[in-house]
Structure 1
């Protein structure tokens, strides 16, 4: 049951804005129409519930999927499921929310650890999680109370000092993770602590074992939708360690603990994890006895599903969906993914000393005309249809439709127009010299493009982009690398590989639409190393006091999306459907945002997975 937040005037105004968001979101998502039909029989209902969406002309739509698994049968006591982490590379194994950087590790973390706050369907923090919160009248001071029954899996209580300790570690100059940024510098006293001018963070106070108070510099709309750091760090385990050594410690890599529904029993690094039930889980002991997570190569996932080798996966390669839509032993559920793929242009480097991007006006890809031509040369609408049968589709801006209240559906991006691309290059001085164009100064132009390995179509898709750019006279060479190497080379560790000019990446976006964490001047994840005064201004305005007015915030992010289409540090290629096959025996599973179905409720109706007929 939802519980009201105790508020006063400013937060009441903020919540009124958020209620407007809820109404807008509900309106945008209500696309079903009622038509009179004959009442189906029980057998027909079961068949309809698990039937895969039908395709017209070989194309599918995410709107035809539902996000909740249909329960079939009664839950048995206990049981074991196998979860497939679909990847062609090992997971990195940085198994702590305060330090991880790659998406695969987050899927491991989800089973044994969680945040202290939860979100609702509109990405707003609720009071239904392991902690509750109240906000002072000024909208800047939050008081959090951790529930009494929330304990680490070694039996120690999760305390307010653990939450403070996480902030102290991330704010420490020796911290080697990716989290420190504007969300933390908005805490009073964090700048002084990070600079070594203060021994404590003045804006964070431990009021009691279970009560923490944080005062932020600015009250922003993002404080209720994602910019509060909600992951504690067990001080009784890590408190005596050198901060620079925590991320590589056995307590992170080999024997991690959390306070989630399952406990880590064993790990084969990069390959598999065995989880067992956490009987002390604060929401109640899980139904399942055990969960086995194993890395599954995209090329073998269909066989694993058909034979019951896995019960569910993090995400199914949608290019393989049409051939397997009728797989008899699974139900496919789906939703619009909070993600997009994109082409990025290296425009500078990371300045480790200043901890900020350092744009280089002489970078090979510095000319926006070159970048715009490369966007206009690719037909992403056809890519979505031909490579993904409509389950990925043409992307236009850097706020995806998973956030319908802020996604600018009227912005067309840069439309596919190879003739316009050629003219752009001609006018900018990139003249054809034989098969390929030269730079405006007449020297050779050779562009190095890096993309990730993965499913069977990963390289053909990358080759399509290379050929599209060749068609407008650009000499682009392709290099395919695996996931972990890819992100190291584009700069996740602060070291930019100078041989990379252009790259194809993908982002899972956060609940909050604030783009500072990906495109802000001090964001290490700003891989293009792009910065501009206008970008700084819009990012700051998006979390300013005036942005509490939802219409004002919408307009700010509309302007920001327009700026990114104009300056093109990256361009989005495809929005994505998240499609997940779930074995028929699995009960109580959903991929819906803000659902009240939790992993401790996950169950099975049979000892063994159903096998395809």
Structure 2
């Protein structure tokens, strides 16, 4: 559950109607179209077909279990065709278009269409041998030998090679690297520390055995290696090999003319606004059925009209607060699944030490007192928020391992229950005395808490204001600042610089296929935005990827203990778990959301030249 988005990367989600726009960490499947065995069904042409009936609400509440994650095919596929994909956001996408460097989900949504990882995974989040590369593991579980398929080529015709895979590791391990990837997955590779510190010119644990064969030896065999602990994204050495590592992320080759080896290739980019993709005839799984995909940024306030008019065929995610009023939209089918994500309130407890590349917790930080943090958690009624604002498609979150990982999510842990009287008592007992309308610090000084949240749809600010009012009800003086997506993550430290004016923030994480939360809460994780560290946290995170953790029951026990630790120490507290709801135009065929379904981007087709329009 770590790593910044896709490929282990930060996915901060379209939460609260884009209140949070999935920023990356965690790793989603590279198959935006996912995988499926759904068979086409005969029915009327797309222009006149009615959407498959949406799930019904019970007492005004929907249950994500009632949704299908696989699109019902309507009609027969035509040759070629163009679809429009809506990236729902009130901000431009940043444009860091390479898996080795990007940090936010909007960029990941662009990347998905033209690039992918060398390995894929199944519905249980285990790497398979069905991807662009296959792998074998040594008996001791430390050495992986990868073989890239012969027909896997970059979109400029050059083969994807073992040297490219090695090069990605060399760039990320280079001290000049300015992306967010370097962390425990890389330091677990033999010789990586020596290479990173300049003591060695090569990474001793990585060997190129042939043009298409790479071997990586890890210091420790961990249960995470098969579920996200291997870096699966090569970097085209023939393009970036002669470039200063510090300049790669800002280069035109990455931002204006990016290439990958995915189903579509970039034809043109309007920075931050739109991308035109054309089919990659040389795609290793087979040429795509579609000729072209147009991606454009759609403001959450206009998404309904875009869908009804056929202006977009599908979107990355639909604001779920708008779902009840649009559940019967006649020209789309709504797909749904439990999202690998949660929203949360984070407390700034220190800063990032750029020299040592670890968090530096400050015992004198404004939010350092766990009693203050616990009271702020107890003051908010997230169960009601989920029901009233999201009709059950967001629901009260209790721990930092979401139910998308049912083996490890501790459903018995209640977190901190909503109880404003209890919250007041916690503050009273800790010495935060009321002085008029608001409380002072235990030493009598003024307590003013600065809270930032993201802009988005119509209810973004009202929801953030709900938290402010909840905290005011227990005597806390909290001021709110609404910030657009890219600025928000800069201010809370995605580049290693923490804005000292921020005390509390509201964010969201999309989690990786691996349950290990080190990439979000480890002391050497730049995405550890609260800048939290403790000896007990170090111990449990290490045990979670230890040899003992190969026993699944033991690993469950470890992460159950870790979830409770985070409930006790509260560097952040989860607010809502989420469902992802995706409307898909009736003419779109062979589409699904979620993991392990069997469909890929090259499978997507359409049954008509034009999108169906709502009747």
1:547 to 539, 546, 549: 549
Counterpart position of 2:211: 209
Counterpart position of 1:601: 603
Counterpart position of 1:394: 396
| Alpha-carbon distance in structure 2 between the residues aligned to 1:526 and 1:43 | 50
Aligned-pair CA distance for 1:58: 1.4
Aligned-pair CA distance for 1:455: 1.4
2:357 to 355, 358, 364: 355
Aligned-pair CA distance for 1:43: 7.7
Counterpart position of 1:187: 189
| Alpha-carbon distance in structure 2 between the residues aligned to 1:43 and 1:311 | 19
Q: Deviations over 1:249-290 (max 9, x none)?
A: 001100000000000000000000000000000000000000
Counterpart position of 1:475: 477
Q: Deviations over 1:321-356 (max 9, x none)?
A: 000000000000010000000000000000000000
Counterpart position of 1:332: 334
1:273 to 242, 250, 275: 275
Counterpart position of 1:367: 369
* Runs of 4+ off more than 4 Å: 41-44, 46-49
Answer with 531-540 or 454-463: which moved more: 454-463
2:141 to 139, 142, 152: 139
Counterpart position of 2:76: 74
| Alpha-carbon distance in structure 2 between the residues aligned to 1:42 and 1:333 | 19
| Alpha-carbon distance in structure 2 between the residues aligned to 1:95 and 1:139 | 33
Aligned-pair CA distance for 1:592: 2.3
Please state whether the residue corresponding to 2:87 is helix, strand or coil: strand
Report 1:62-141 matches (<5 A). 62-141=64-143
| Alpha-carbon distance in structure 2 between the residues aligned to 1:58 and 1:307 | 27
1:229 to 228, 231, 246: 231
Aligned-pair CA distance for 1:570: 0.1
User: Aligned pairs, how many?
Assistant: 572
Name the structure where helix makes up a greater proportion of residues: 1
| Alpha-carbon distance in structure 2 between the residues aligned to 1:211 and 1:72 | 43
Aligned-pair CA distance for 1:569: 0.0
| Alpha-carbon distance in structure 1 between the residues aligned to 2:561 and 2:333 | 41
Q: Deviations over 1:459-509 (max 9, x none)?
A: 010000000000000000000000000000000000000000000000010
Q: Deviations over 1:146-176 (max 9, x none)?
A: 0000000000000000000000000000000
Counterpart position of 1:14: none
Counterpart position of 1:26: none
Please list every run of 5 or more consecutive structure 2 residues that lacks an aligned counterpart in the other structure.
Answer: 1-40
| Alpha-carbon distance in structure 1 between the residues aligned to 2:548 and 2:441 | 45
Say whether the 8 Å CA contact 2:87–2:106 is kept in structure 1: yes
Report 1:99-498 matches (<5 A). 99-498=101-500
Say whether the 8 Å CA contact 2:348–2:504 is kept in structure 1: yes
Counterpart position of 1:30: none
Aligned-pair CA distance for 1:56: 1.4
Counterpart position of 2:532: 530
Which has the higher relative contact order, 1 or 2, with Cα contacts under 8 A spaced 6 or more apart? 2
| Alpha-carbon distance in structure 2 between the residues aligned to 1:141 and 1:443 | 57
| Alpha-carbon distance in structure 1 between the residues aligned to 2:177 and 2:50 | 52
| Alpha-carbon distance in structure 1 between the residues aligned to 2:406 and 2:458 | 31
Q: Cα distance 1:371–1:141, how it changes in 2: closer, same or farther (>3 A)?
A: same
Q: Deviations over 1:388-420 (max 9, x none)?
A: 111000000000000000000000000000000
Counterpart position of 1:28: none
Q: Deviations over 1:269-326 (max 9, x none)?
A: 0000000000000000000000000000000000000000000000000000000000
Query: Over the residues paired in the alignment, what is the CA RMSD in angstroms?
Result: 1.2
TM-score (normalizing by structure 2): 0.92
| Alpha-carbon distance in structure 2 between the residues aligned to 1:208 and 1:59 | 57
TM-score (normalizing by structure 1): 0.92
Aligned-pair CA distance for 1:49: 7.8
| Alpha-carbon distance in structure 1 between the residues aligned to 2:440 and 2:594 | 50
Please list every run of 5 or more consecutive structure 1 residues that lacks an aligned counterpart in the other structure.
Answer: 1-40
Aligned-pair CA distance for 1:596: 1.2
